[in-house]
Structure 1
Amino acid sequence: MAPHGPFQGRRDFLRASGALGLATMLPGAVRAASTHAGVVPPGDTDATSDVPLPARAPLASQPFLRLPAGAIRPAGWLRRQLEIQASGLGGHLDETWADVGPDSGWLGGTGESWERGPYFLDGLLPLAWQLDSAPLKAKAQKFIDWTLDNPWPNGMFGPRSNNDWWPRMVMLKVLTQYHELTGDARVIPLMTNYFVHQLGALPARPLRDWGRSRWQDELLSVLWLYDRTGDKRLLQLAALLHRQGFDWQGMFADFKFKQKVDVAKLKAEGGGGDVFMEDLGQRVHGVNIAMSIKSSPVWSLVSGRAHDRDAVHHQLSMLDTYHGLPNGMFSADEHLAGRNPSQGTELCTVVETMFSLEVALAITGDPALADRLETIAYNALPGTFTDDMWAHQYDQEPNQVESSLHRRPWTTNGPESNLFGLEPHFGCCTANFHQGWPKLTQSLWMATADGGMAATVYAPCTLQTVVHGVPLRIEQSTDYPFRSRVEIVLHPARAVAFALKLRIPGWATGSTLTVNGHAQASGSAGRFLTLQREWQPGDTIALTFASVPKTVPGFNDSVSVRDGALVFALPIAESWIKWRQRGLTADWMVYPASRWNMGLPESASFRRAEQPVGPVPFSRRHPPVTLSVEGRPVATWKAEEGAADPVPRRPQADAADVPVMLILMPYAAPKLRITAFPLLAPGSNEHPEDGHVG
């Protein structure tokens, strides 16, 4: 972390805030500057709604509108995945981890009072309502009630042991979801009072550190409230947040970080006196960058400029070009680390990238963002958890040959970083991972600007909304991404005409579409197909995508393997060793028990096999789909300190090693895996033996 002021990072802040306790209050100068003008008394507010609010002038319109929290419920394999989360750490974290336990500062206690309570709620809240779980709702409600019932006299809210803007940005996202779910009349007055206070306080106490880097997350809540109240002061606050926040668009327009970044080394070389160098750790921090992906699109709602809206594509291009990994993510362990697939990515970075893409997809309407979102959600997200979601990694590696206490090629993170456990290395991801699956569920469908609906991401679900005043239920049945067929059944209360948009993934080599059994034009890959008609109760759409397994070029001429939305990896036999018990869960090391250093020929040919999608969707024991391909051992490719060496460029296979048949699984199924394979030099492969690896 880059030093900036009295708190140099998460760890220093937590130590300091714990020592200060409840005695620390706002500085006198800030108290004097605060005002009660404009404070809103509690009263009736908007009730819950099944339809999103369009942008209020002068905000720019957007092609898609994210539906209110609770409009979409998971079904099929996705519901089973959310139930796994609820049965694991996602539903029991407060019972085994003090940071979100009964002494949390966000429950009025003297415990952790910074970001972890809000992070936990940001996923627990939608999970509870999507599963309609009374126990989980009760857990979330305790935090919500304390927050809403204990505002500060000047408009601030939250624990009084700190006045940091950053953790309140997360809790504001929680409160917007909670209001959409319940219509609780306490939410809008509290948010209004807080924003009035902040508008007056920011000139003297500007954004800094994490809040300065993550200003766009608060801007979402400011614009959410403006669409409901029309309070012009919120537009002033939006402009102030943008002015004080870091200029991510400018950084990526002149992107300088084209290699693995060693922050300590660069600071030493830069002398430490330059403002840029002081902020360097924040600029190249993976989670900050993940959150920043939505900054330009969200600001475009205020500016109205297409250039701001479209800047997200250049930002993603820079990340792909210089730090892209085969699982759809960019390296960040915990700073940008280049394209070597033995580098890691922090779990917080995964879930925050997903949320940024969900927001950016609605604002831009670009189906390519949905393609990327699916790649991350169906590979990188489940790839960093145990099957029961009782343990997770801080860092995951696409080429992950060991999870142990070795140091690895990381510049910032420590030796615990890729263990599976309660809080390996640092607990931010323990608190924050919860939002991944529930917020993906919230983004499977979106409303369109013309009053229709769009299928943006494919997974089994049920949608309840209103279109042109007519209640509408949509049931989507599918085993996507493990299968290519999606069935959509519409149940309007009565016949209603509207446009239905269906995303054709960019990877699709073809597609077929029927409505009530009658063939329709299927549209082009990488675009939304529009069906404009009067929809009758029971109308059924069947959509099937064609794809072929293929290799994708990567670092050092390596290749990864994709089929549809899934990335495939070579599973390494795993030996799990419990390191220590951690309350209801444990920390684990995982050692390889089979050979992993395999290469693929340039003319690799794949054979696909399918099995039923089981109770654990991303299961190594019962994978829903596998690919078989001929490969050869690469004896010169070794590991050091528990990490695979960089993929060798065009190695020659050892003539003494016979070819073998490799059985590849979806990336998330094995926890030790090879995802980026060396491409063998010409002439390296022969005919395979009867044996196989995987």
Structure 2
Amino acid sequence: MNQVTSMFRDTTSAFMGYRSVIVSTLLSLLVGIVPQDTGLAPKKFLSLPLGAVKPTGWLRDQLLVQANGLAGHEHDFYDYVAQSDWIGGDSYYSNLEEAGSYWFNGMVPTGVLLNDSTIQSQTLQFLDYVLDHQDSTGWLGPEMVEADATLAEKVVPALHKFVALANSMLHEGQGLEDWTKTRWEDFVIVLQWLYDFYPDGQEDVLMDTMKMLKWTGDPWEQVFAEANFPKGPVEHLSNPFPVLTWHGVNMAEGLKALPSTFRYTHNQSDLDAASLGWDLLFRYHGRPSGIYAADEYLAGLEAVRGGSYLYQVIGDPKFADRVERITYNALPATLTGDMWSRQYLQQQNQVAAKNMTPPYSNVFGLEPNYPASIDSVVRRCCTVNHPQGWPKFISNAFVTTADQQSVVQVYLGPFSTSATLAGGNKVTVTVDTLYPFSDALNISVNAGKSFTYSVRIPSWVTGGTFAVNGEQAKPAAPSNGLQGILVPDGATTINLNLPAQISLESRPHGSVAIHRGPLHYALDIPRTQRILTQNAQEPRAADLQFTATGNWQYAIDPDTLTFHAGTPTGGRLPSPIFDSGLSPLAITVMACPIDWDLAGDTFTTSPPTTPACTGPATNLTLSPFGTTKLRIGEFPTFKAS
């Protein structure tokens, strides 16, 4: 789950350890701000202010489920972020360092996107507490975010005061520790935001601090070199660099390092190294659910082991395709449907979710692995960290081109957005769709002036079409993944049809994974549920054990895969959609039972390479991966005929 959420973060833990985890979604999301013409190289695309993109339809419901679940109630009862603990002075301040900042980073966009006054009040109180406790040297505790331009007068001076302190400490060799050295890129992104929008005459200090962070941090361009990159599980390999560079979350953070430095080095080699690192990561550690494997550290390809920023800087559609797969597969699969319990380690082939102490990370619960004490420091990351994925995905669904002439729809789903383009061209967009549970998207655009509307056509689309204002549909012919559509002034409707074929992904031991469109499909294993423990203050925050009640030992015949698209009742998806039996989509396949052993009480062995059927063939129904909690996602194969 750490790896899932970290793929969406704008900035997270950065400089001088967790105490100064500063400014995540930050002021870069201020309303109506346009970057100055500066010495930093422009990104390919510019993000819109927080709140400019809103979820609609089923996606808004999904965010409501999250707000009504564990994420939206942590402030009420969870020790590490409950407001009742804030006033505890030093004892609470240690919580503020990591837990508070992670919680804040997810809940600010959640509150803004849902216009939830309770959550917004909680995060504003947190922000005030942090700013009110900045000391005379400029030291700040946790990171901050905001979507209200009026707060700039309060926050920007505090940031500049902290930057001056950080710069002097870097030059004196102070404040650096192992986690700092892997996540320096997050602080660089914050500094670049200040440089672009609020330099306040401090350009030289900001630029110098960026360069100092890179030269005192881990060398990501070397970590991502093919000769150095680990080609399998790393527990028995020797890392030529600091060990934390192969840590799963840090690897996700490091993917942003070279795009961030490109903005001041202007070296194409930085972007080339970042793109290669991305490809190596998913080639050697990728999962069909979209994410990569890391049982804390990189874990290879075995099924029994458990960037939006890159797209905005580099513009390669492979980044957006991957993020969409992660969002619609891996992210919901690691949460119960009601989002009150979460899993720390997720498996492609997961036939049980039980207490394996040690570890406890396989159950769905409140704290299935952390908090934990590491080197006498309590790590509190993950319960507070898990809600970042959905709001960050939504907020980055639309961007503008660097010249601000066009709106670009990066992610596909139900959204609405508004933007003021160059020349005062006010544009609003509404996307009505059940995607990814449908191939059809109906887009309504209203513009003051004519402009080119661009929409990403994913790589998995076959035979996609678009029609403007009811005219005859035209074949989609995207350039670098984007379909440009000339939109006149006034109201325009665009109807997209983005069908896909069932595709197979080859996996280890001759097994296969099944995809159609953005969704990965798996056998949803029926289960029983047992409550292991409940929080004393909030019994809905429960630790759950899942035990399989049906057979999962099957081989499938890929030649018999058939896609089935159901019609939701009343045109609306059930809520919560990511739970067993609720998806309108399914794939059926002929299968036969086989001998396939357990490796202990919880894990399967690797899929058998040439299995023999032990009984007659049967028809299996596969479900979207995100709706499953126990599953087989990588199957051995046989021939039914």
Q: Do both proteins adopt the same fold according to a TM-score greater than 0.5, normalized to the shorter chain?
A: yes
Q: Which amino acid is 1:527 matched to?
A: G
> Which residue does the alignment assign to 1:595?
551
Aligned mate of 1:251, from 223, 232, 235? 223
1:376 aligns with 2:326: yes
**For 1:149 and 1:298, how far apart are their aligned partners in 2?**
30
1:261 aligns with 2:230: no
> Which residue does the alignment assign to 2:563?
607
User: Percent sequence identity over matched residues?
Assistant: 30
TM-superposed CA distance for 1:509, in Å, is 1.0
Matched position secondary structure for 2:91: coil
**For 1:626 and 1:571, how far apart are their aligned partners in 2?**
11
| CA distances 1:369-409 after superposition (whole Å, capped 9, x unpaired) | 111000000000000001111110011111110001236xx
Q: Which amino acid is 2:256 matched to?
A: K
Q: Where in structure 2 are there 5+ consecutive unaligned residues?
A: 1-16, 21-26, 372-380
1:478 aligns with 2:433: yes
> Which residue does the alignment assign to 2:604?
644
> Which residue does the alignment assign to 1:22?
none
Aligned residues: 594
- Greater RCO, 1 or 2 (C-alpha within 8 Å, sep 6+): 2
TM-superposed CA distance for 1:631, in Å, is 1.1
> Which residue does the alignment assign to 1:445?
398
Q: Runs in 1 of length 4+ with deviation above 6 angstroms?
A: none
Residues 50, 465 of structure 1: 8 Å contact kept = no
1:207 aligns with 2:157: no
> Which residue does the alignment assign to 1:151?
134
1:401 aligns with 2:351: yes
> Which residue does the alignment assign to 2:66?
85
Structure 1 residues 501 and 50, CA, compared in 2 at 3 Å: closer, same or farther?
farther
Once the two structures are superposed, the pairs formed by residues 1-12 of structure 1 within 5 Å of their partners are none
Matched position secondary structure for 2:352: coil
**For 1:109 and 1:132, how far apart are their aligned partners in 2?**
33
Residues 491, 539 of structure 1: 8 Å contact kept = yes
TM-superposed CA distance for 1:50, in Å, is 4.4
Q: Where in structure 1 are there 5+ consecutive unaligned residues?
A: 1-16, 19-24, 27-45, 159-167, 345-356, 408-413, 687-694
Residues 336, 579 of structure 2: 8 Å contact kept = no
Aligned mate of 1:554, from 507, 529, 546? 507
| CA distances 1:480-516 after superposition (whole Å, capped 9, x unpaired) | 1111111111123x3x122221111100111111111
Q: Which amino acid is 2:395 matched to?
A: Q
Structure 1 residues 49 and 191, CA, compared in 2 at 3 Å: closer, same or farther?
closer
Residues 52, 65 of structure 1: 8 Å contact kept = no
Aligned mate of 1:540, from 477, 480, 493? 493
> Which residue does the alignment assign to 2:297?
335
Once the two structures are superposed, the pairs formed by residues 647-658 of structure 1 within 5 Å of their partners are 647-654=607-614, 657-658=615-616
1:629 aligns with 2:589: yes
| CA distances 1:30-86 after superposition (whole Å, capped 9, x unpaired) | xxxxxxxxxxxxxxxx99854453464211122211111111111001100000010
Q: Which amino acid is 1:326 matched to?
A: P
Aligned mate of 2:191, from 217, 222, 228? 222
Residues 213, 288 of structure 1: 8 Å contact kept = yes
> Which residue does the alignment assign to 1:571?
524
Q: Which amino acid is 1:392 matched to?
A: R
Structure 1 residues 315 and 536, CA, compared in 2 at 3 Å: closer, same or farther?
same
> Which residue does the alignment assign to 1:60?
41
> Which residue does the alignment assign to 1:312?
274
Residues 106, 147 of structure 1: 8 Å contact kept = no
TM-superposed CA distance for 1:182, in Å, is 4.9
TM-superposed CA distance for 1:292, in Å, is 1.0
| CA distances 1:201-248 after superposition (whole Å, capped 9, x unpaired) | 112205221111111111111100110133211011110111111111
Q: CA RMSD in A?
A: 2.4
TM-superposed CA distance for 1:637, in Å, is 4.0
Matched position secondary structure for 1:578: strand
**For 1:237 and 1:448, how far apart are their aligned partners in 2?**
28
Matched position secondary structure for 1:641: coil
Matched position secondary structure for 1:472: strand
**For 2:88 and 2:317, how far apart are their aligned partners in 1?**
41
TM-superposed CA distance for 1:530, in Å, is 1.4
Matched position secondary structure for 2:364: coil
**For 2:212 and 2:504, how far apart are their aligned partners in 1?**
47
Q: Which amino acid is 2:166 matched to?
A: Q
Once the two structures are superposed, the pairs formed by residues 156-555 of structure 1 within 5 Å of their partners are 156-158=139-141, 168=142, 171=143, 174-175=144-145, 178-179=146-147, 182-204=150-172, 205-230=174-199, 231-232=202-203, 233-253=205-225, 254-262=227-235, 276=240, 279-280=242-243, 282-344=244-306, 357-406=307-356, 414-427=358-371, 428-451=381-404, 452-468=406-422, 469-492=424-447, 494=448, 496-518=449-471, 519-524=473-478, 527-533=481-487, 535-555=488-508
**For 2:109 and 2:339, how far apart are their aligned partners in 1?**
17
Aligned mate of 2:104, from 121, 124, 135? 121
**For 2:257 and 2:87, how far apart are their aligned partners in 1?**
27
Q: Which amino acid is 2:224 matched to?
A: F
**For 1:614 and 1:621, how far apart are their aligned partners in 2?**
10
Q: Which shows bigger deviation, 287-296 or 599-608?
A: 599-608
Residues 183, 254 of structure 2: 8 Å contact kept = yes
TM-superposed CA distance for 1:520, in Å, is 3.9
TM-superposed CA distance for 1:590, in Å, is 0.6
Residues 155, 193 of structure 1: 8 Å contact kept = yes
Residues 188, 213 of structure 2: 8 Å contact kept = yes
Residues 112, 147 of structure 2: 8 Å contact kept = no
